[in-house]
């Protein structure tokens, strides 16, 4: 397999992981709104459903993007596809 | 030129600017103590901030193509994040969102999830690859990746429909705020708003819009956060409201049942006396009050719409590299997060201020005559944003007898909570900044697509740089003027048309953009079918529902993008597979886009 094909395979795998985490916190958990509301796990005292919609999921997205960017940079570096200055 | 130096000195320049703005707020506060009238304070805030944006716009004027279209591709990561956040957060986010949460609670907060989650898609699926491509506009990518004028024109059509729907709402919002703050009629205020928008973008294109948007973000975030922290501390609810309002949320639920929320209902005859556009509290504050599908479908539409709206995507064309484009998405979302996670807190504080009889600001349970005598009630009643009526004739204000406009939650809460008027002036300036920055981005996105993709690429490919820039500016003026004229008619509410814009963009552009990078086999006929078919299907479904047709699968007029994009995806795959695969040159181009190193696909000047 060529260097570029390997790079793309790793990139694609990272995409799937990122999208899976994204799916859980943007769609998955909101199938269980009522269950989250009844849950005894209450971050900072807020009902879990309320907390996830106004802070929890939002914050996870911010962290997820930075994590994704770091991983992708590592993959680019590994295969020597990092941009050089002046490119 | 100061350009090279300017980029190196950005933190210093904007640091001084922020300091200057804080000093201005303090000066205004002193002036208020010295007896300056509320009206004059409002005028000072709006006039001062708008003239600063205009000065930045003038200083950023340019005669170069890549500066005009992509700000010279040298906007650093964090600053591009701020500019994107301002570009993104519109008058709707700033003025209407806390109000929506106040009235509709959990069901409405699907928008918070949707308008942030979309950035994960932007970062992982699109932004870095489109940056590598080196395009000036989104149709530029579609036109080059798929080849052919038909694909390019289709992209321009979808872009124009979506962005134009959005921009009328934003010019409407600048008009509303300008008319309140400057005390002029709405019909004139709309054009005052338009003039300020054009001042920022006309001379310097993307470069000018970038640097004014950074300045606008600083104003709008201060204007949003300062009142939230101040009210929370004044009320004794918590030093850091975001982490400390759990008791207040619980207290609201307690008061809701005490005041008979949901059990005491207004008769239709009583409701008919309430002015149009005002609403009472009918939904519980924090309870899960909607079905999972309703919540999720709305969030999905907003997420896919985020990834397809061209005025957001083109901000990532301005970064120096692919790596910085990717990181910049993270910073954008961080800056957006600061405001979005504060909106529910503002709604909570606002509701508690009004409801809790133990607080000096509470009005529910007081006598009607007392409430009618309050200064702020009289002001906002006159502005048609507040209304009370003694339906049951007991002389006491009940929860179901108090009505408020959605905008009042942001605009009036500082006054209700007893903060000095200077804060209300600051909030007006923040709302103006939010609406102006989004309108700027949108008008520029449309005008650039028309001037670059339609005029230069199709009509007159031999046009000189000077001529191209003149055409771009003339179009900018025409688009802005058309948007303002429609806004002046006041045909739709701010929030409804914003949501539609997302659905239009998602219907026509989401899959053609994503598959352009992630599926090599996608070809021009497939993309054209996907764009036009998706847009047509979405629009047809919207008309179907609006004219009283039955809803399919619980898809409403706010989520018609689901139908549009599903049709788009199917058409794109079927038509692509039925027609010839893209040639090897195109396949190589896609390979090239998938790695960050090497030259961009399109040249620096094209």
User: Which residues of chain A make contact with B109, given a CB cutoff of 8 A?
Assistant: 53-54
pLDDT at B379: 84
Question: What is the distance in angstroms between the Cα of B495 and the nearest Cα belonging to chain A?
Answer: 19
Q: Which domain does B8 fall in, by range?
A: 1-36
Are B112 and A58 within 8 A, CB to CB? yes
Complete DSSP assignment for B13-73: HHHHHHHHHHHHHHHHHHHHHTT--HHHHHHHHHHHHHHHHHHHHHHT----HHHHHHGGG
pLDDT at B603: 74
User: Are residues B338 and B221 in contact, defined by beta-carbon separation less than 8 angstroms?
Assistant: yes
Please report whether residue B9 resides in a domain.
yes
Are A26 and B120 within 8 A, CB to CB? yes
Please report whether residue A74 resides in a domain.
yes
Is the dihedral angle over the CA atoms B28, B30, B36, B39 positive or is it negative? positive
Please report whether residue A7 resides in a domain.
yes
For B58, counting Cβ atoms within 10 Å of its Cβ (0-12 exposed, 13-18 middle, 19+ buried), the class is: middle
Q: What does the alpha-carbon distance between residue B156 and residue B354 come to, in Å, rounded to a whole number?
A: 48
User: Which residues of chain A make contact with B321, given a CB cutoff of 8 A?
Assistant: 83, 87
Q: Count chain A–chain B contacts defined by CB atoms under 8 A.
A: 146
Give residue-wise pLDDT tens across range B343-370: 999 999 999 999 988 888 889 888 899 9
Least trusted range by pLDDT, from B51-55, B223-227, B249-253, B273-277: B273-277
Question: What is the distance in angstroms between the Cα of B105 and the nearest Cα belonging to chain A?
Answer: 9
φ/ψ (deg, to 5) at B387: -160, 135
User: Which residues of chain A make contact with B345, given a CB cutoff of 8 A?
Assistant: 54
Task: Please report how many Cα atoms fall inside a 13 Å half-sphere around the Cα of residue A46, on the Cβ side.
Answer: 25
Q: Given A31, A66, A68, which is nearest B292 (Cβ)?
A: A31
- ipTM at complex level: 0.95
User: Are residues B436 and B174 in contact, defined by beta-carbon separation less than 8 angstroms?
Assistant: yes
pLDDT at B268: 83
Task: Answer yes or no: is pLDDT of B495 > 70.
Answer: no
Task: Answer yes or no: is pLDDT of B3 > 60.
Answer: no
Is B527 strand, coil or helix? helix
Q: What does the alpha-carbon distance between residue B220 and residue B150 come to, in Å, rounded to a whole number?
A: 41
User: Are residues B300 and B114 in contact, defined by beta-carbon separation less than 8 angstroms?
Assistant: yes
Are B117 and A26 within 8 A, CB to CB? yes
Is B273 strand, coil or helix? coil
Q: Given B296, B329, B595, which is nearest A81 (Cβ)?
A: B595
Is the dihedral angle over the CA atoms B108, B110, B111, B113 positive or is it negative? positive
Q: Where are the beta strands (DSSP E) in B320-473?
A: 386-388, 402-405
Give Cα B449 to chain centroid, integer Å.
20
Q: Which domain does A74 fall in, by range?
A: 3-78
From residue B481, alpha-carbon distances to B164, B197, B432, B443 in Å are 12, 11, 18, 10
Q: Confidence class of residue B493 from pLDDT cuts 50, 70 and 90?
A: low
- Rounded to 10 deg, the angle between the B421-448 and B10-33 helix axes is 140
Is B74 strand, coil or helix? coil
DSSP state of B396: B
User: Which residues of chain B make contact with A61, given a CB cutoff of 8 A?
Assistant: 116-117, 119-120, 333, 337
Count of the separate structural domains present in chain B = 1
What residues contact B173, with CB distance under 8 A and at least 6 apart? B90, B91, B92, B95, B431, B434, B435, B494
Q: What is the 3-state secondary structure (H, E, C) of B129-154?
A: HHHHHCCCCHHHHHHHHHCCHHHHHH
Least trusted range by pLDDT, from B312-316, B373-377, B439-443, B496-500: B496-500
Please count the residues of chain A: 87
Type and span of the H or E element at B278: strand B278-279
Give residue-wise pLDDT tens across range A25-83: 999 999 999 999 998 999 999 999 999 999 999 999 999 999 999 999 999 999 999 88
Are A46 and B106 within 8 A, CB to CB? no
Q: Confidence class of residue B140 from pLDDT cuts 50, 70 and 90?
A: very high
User: Which residues of chain A make contact with B595, given a CB cutoff of 8 A?
Assistant: 4, 7, 76, 81
User: Are residues B320 and B137 in contact, defined by beta-carbon separation less than 8 angstroms?
Assistant: no
Q: Given A18, A55, A62, which is nearest B242 (Cβ)?
A: A55
Give residue-wise pLDDT tens across range B256-275: 888 888 777 788 888 888 88
Pair type for strands B386-388 and B278-279: unpaired
Beta bridge partners of B386: B404
Give residue-wise pLDDT tens across range B525-540: 999 999 999 999 999 9
Please report whether residue B575 resides in a domain.
no
Q: What does the alpha-carbon distance between residue B111 and residue B116 come to, in Å, rounded to a whole number?
A: 8
Give residue-wise pLDDT tens across range B36-95: 888 899 889 998 999 999 999 999 988 888 899 998 899 999 999 999 999 999 888 888
User: Which residues of chain A make contact with B299, given a CB cutoff of 8 A?
Assistant: 26-27, 30
pLDDT at B549: 84
Report the alpha-carbon angle B392-B398-B401, nearest 5: 70
pLDDT at A87: 45
Q: Given B120, B287, B596, which is nearest A65 (Cβ)?
A: B120
Task: Please report how many Cα atoms fall inside a 13 Å half-sphere around the Cα of residue B368, on the Cβ side.
Answer: 16
Q: What does the alpha-carbon distance between residue B295 and residue B106 come to, in Å, rounded to a whole number?
A: 9
pLDDT at B122: 96
Are B334 and A62 within 8 A, CB to CB? yes
Residue B360 gets the label, from left (phi > 0), alpha (psi -120 to 50) or beta, of alpha
User: Which residues of chain A make contact with B598, given a CB cutoff of 8 A?
Assistant: 87
Beta bridge partners of B279: B404
User: Are residues B442 and B311 in contact, defined by beta-carbon separation less than 8 angstroms?
Assistant: yes
Q: What does the alpha-carbon distance between residue B530 and residue B508 come to, in Å, rounded to a whole number?
A: 7
Please report whether residue A47 resides in a domain.
yes
Are B323 and A33 within 8 A, CB to CB? no
Task: Answer yes or no: is pLDDT of B106 > 80.
Answer: yes
pLDDT at B1: 41
Task: Answer yes or no: is pLDDT of B189 > 90.
Answer: no
Q: How confident is the model over A5-22, as a mean pLDDT? A: 96
Average per-residue pLDDT for chain B: 90
Please report whether residue B25 resides in a domain.
yes
Give Cα A10 to chain centroid, integer Å.
16
User: Are residues B274 and B83 in contact, defined by beta-carbon separation less than 8 angstroms?
Assistant: no
User: Are residues B182 and B559 in contact, defined by beta-carbon separation less than 8 angstroms?
Assistant: no
Name the residue among B565, B487, B501, B64 with its Cα closest to residue B311: B501
Q: What does the alpha-carbon distance between residue B303 and residue B301 come to, in Å, rounded to a whole number?
A: 5
Please report whether residue A39 resides in a domain.
yes
Name the residue among B127, B318, B326 with its Cα closest to residue B208: B318
Question: What is the distance in angstroms between the Cα of B344 and the nearest Cα belonging to chain A?
Answer: 6
pLDDT at B411: 87
Residue, of B574 and B96, whose pLDDT is higher: B574
Please report whether residue B26 resides in a domain.
yes
Q: What does the alpha-carbon distance between residue B263 and residue B258 come to, in Å, rounded to a whole number?
A: 10
Please report whether residue B32 resides in a domain.
yes
Q: What does the alpha-carbon distance between residue B480 and residue B340 come to, in Å, rounded to a whole number?
A: 28
Q: Given B120, B345, B591, which is nearest A61 (Cβ)?
A: B120
DSSP state of B122: I
User: Which residues of chain A make contact with B337, given a CB cutoff of 8 A?
Assistant: 58-59, 61-62
Other C-beta atoms lying within 10 Å of the C-beta of residue B383: 14
Please report whether residue B14 resides in a domain.
yes
Please report whether residue A83 resides in a domain.
no
Name the residue among B459, B74, B317, B445 with its Cα closest to residue B467: B459
Q: What does the alpha-carbon distance between residue B459 and residue A26 come to, in Å, rounded to a whole number?
A: 43
Of B101, B115, B132, B286, which to mutate for an interface test with A (greatest number of A Cβ within 10 Å)? B286
Of B238, B298, B595, which to mutate for an interface test with A (greatest number of A Cβ within 10 Å)? B595
Least trusted range by pLDDT, from A57-71, B197-211, B295-309: B197-211
Other C-beta atoms lying within 10 Å of the C-beta of residue B495: 22
pLDDT at B544: 94
From residue B135, alpha-carbon distances to B124, B443, B459, B605 in Å are 18, 18, 19, 10
Least trusted range by pLDDT, from B29-38, B209-218, B219-228, B377-386: B377-386
Q: What does the alpha-carbon distance between residue B559 and residue A27 come to, in Å, rounded to a whole number?
A: 15
Residue, of B4 and B317, whose pLDDT is higher: B317
User: Are residues B399 and B336 in contact, defined by beta-carbon separation less than 8 angstroms?
Assistant: no
Q: How confident is the model over B548-565, as a mean pLDDT? A: 91
Are B286 and A59 within 8 A, CB to CB? no
User: Are residues B451 and B471 in contact, defined by beta-carbon separation less than 8 angstroms?
Assistant: yes
From residue A6, alpha-carbon distances to B27, B251, B294, B595 in Å are 61, 56, 41, 11
φ/ψ (deg, to 5) at B404: -145, 150
Is B404 strand, coil or helix? strand
Please report whether residue A86 resides in a domain.
no
From residue B115, alpha-carbon distances to B287, B289, B410 in Å are 21, 20, 19
Q: How confident is the model over B377-391, as a mean pLDDT? A: 87
Q: Where are the alpha helices (H) located in B236-317, listed in sequence order?
A: 241-244, 246-258, 268-272, 292-308, 310-313
Count of the separate structural domains present in chain A = 1
Considering only alpha carbons, which residue of chain A is nearest residue B324? A69
């Amino acid at each position: 397999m060529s260097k570029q094909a390997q790079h793309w395979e790793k990139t694609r795998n990272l995409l799937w992981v990122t999208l899976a985490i994204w799916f859980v916190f943007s769609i998955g958990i909101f199938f269980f709104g009522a269950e989250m509301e009844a849950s005894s796990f209450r971050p900072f005292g807020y009902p879990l459903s309320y907390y996830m919609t106004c802070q929890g999921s939002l914050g996870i997205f911010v962290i997820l993007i930075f994590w994704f960017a770091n991983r992708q940079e590592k993959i680019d570096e590994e295969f020597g596809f990092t941009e050089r200055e002046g490119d | 030129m100061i350009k090279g130096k300017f980029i190196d000195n950005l933190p210093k320049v904007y640091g001084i600017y922020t300091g200057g703005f804080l000093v201005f707020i303090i000066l205004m506060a002193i002036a208020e103590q010295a007896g300056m009238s509320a009206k004059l304070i409002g005028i000072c805030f709006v006039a001062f901030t708008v003239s600063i944006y205009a000065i930045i716009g003038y200083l950023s004027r340019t005669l170069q193509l890549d500066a005009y279209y992509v700000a010279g591709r040298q906007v650093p990561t964090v600053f591009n994040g701020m500019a994107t956040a301002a570009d993104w957060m519109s008058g709707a986010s700033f003025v209407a969102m806390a109000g929506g949460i106040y009235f509709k609670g959990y069901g409405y907060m699907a928008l918070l999830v949707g308008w942030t989650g979309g950035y994960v898609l932007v970062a992982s699926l699109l932004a870095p690859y489109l940056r590598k491509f080196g395009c000036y506009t989104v149709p530029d990518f579609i036109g080059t990746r798929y080849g052919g004028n038909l694909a390019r024109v289709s992209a321009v059509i979808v872009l124009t429909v979506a962005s134009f729907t959005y921009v009328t709402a934003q010019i409407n919002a600048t008009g509303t705020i300008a008319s309140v703050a400057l005390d002029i009629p709405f019909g004139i205020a709309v054009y005052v708003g338009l003039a300020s928008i054009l001042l920022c973008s006309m001379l310097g294109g993307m470069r000018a819009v970038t640097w004014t948007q950074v300045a606008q973000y600083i104003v709008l975030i201060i204007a949003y956060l300062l009142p939230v922290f101040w009210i929370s501390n004044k009320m004794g609810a918590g030093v850091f409201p975001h982490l400390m309002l759990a008791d207040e949320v619980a207290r609201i639920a307690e008061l809701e049942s005490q005041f008979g929320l949901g059990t005491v209902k207004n008769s239709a005859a009583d409701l008919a006396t309430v002015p149009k556009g005002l609403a009472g509290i009918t939904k519980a504050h924090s309870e899960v009050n909607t079905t999972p599908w309703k919540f999720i479908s709305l969030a999905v539409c907003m997420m896919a719409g985020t990834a397809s709206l061209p005025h957001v995507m083109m901000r990532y064309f301005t970064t120096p590299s692919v790596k910085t484009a990717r990181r910049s998405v993270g910073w954008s979302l961080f800056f957006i997060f600061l405001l979005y996670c504060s909106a529910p807190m503002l709604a909570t504080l606002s509701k508690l201020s009004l409801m809790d009889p133990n607080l000096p600001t509470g009005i529910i349970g007081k006598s009607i005559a007392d409430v009618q005598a309050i200064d702020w009630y009289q002001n906002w009643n006159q502005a048609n944003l507040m209304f009370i009526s003694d339906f049951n004739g007991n002389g006491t204000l009940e929860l179901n007898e108090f009505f408020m406009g959605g905008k009042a939650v942001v605009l009036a809460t500082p006054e209700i909570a007893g903060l000095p008027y200077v804060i209300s002036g600051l909030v007006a300036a923040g709302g103006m900044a939010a609406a102006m920055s989004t309108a700027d981005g949108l008008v520029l996105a449309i005008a650039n697509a028309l001037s670059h993709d339609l005029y230069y690429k199709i009509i007159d490919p031999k046009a000189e740089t000077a001529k191209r820039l003149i055409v771009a500016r003339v179009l900018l003026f025409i688009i802005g003027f058309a948007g303002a004229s429609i806004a002046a008619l006041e045909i739709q509410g701010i929030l409804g048309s914003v949501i539609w814009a997302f659905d239009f963009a998602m219907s026509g552009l989401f899959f053609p953009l994503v598959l352009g990078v992630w599926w090599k086999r996608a070809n021009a006929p497939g993309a054209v079918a996907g764009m036009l078919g998706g847009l047509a299907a979405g629009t047809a479904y919207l008309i179907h529902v609006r004219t009283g047709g039955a809803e399919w699968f619980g898809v409403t007029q706010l989520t018609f993008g689901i139908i549009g994009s599903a049709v788009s995806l199917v058409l794109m795959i079927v038509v692509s597979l039925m027609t010839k695969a893209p040639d090897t040159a195109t396949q190589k181009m896609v390979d090239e886009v998938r790695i960050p190193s090497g030259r961009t696909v399109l040249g620096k000047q094209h």
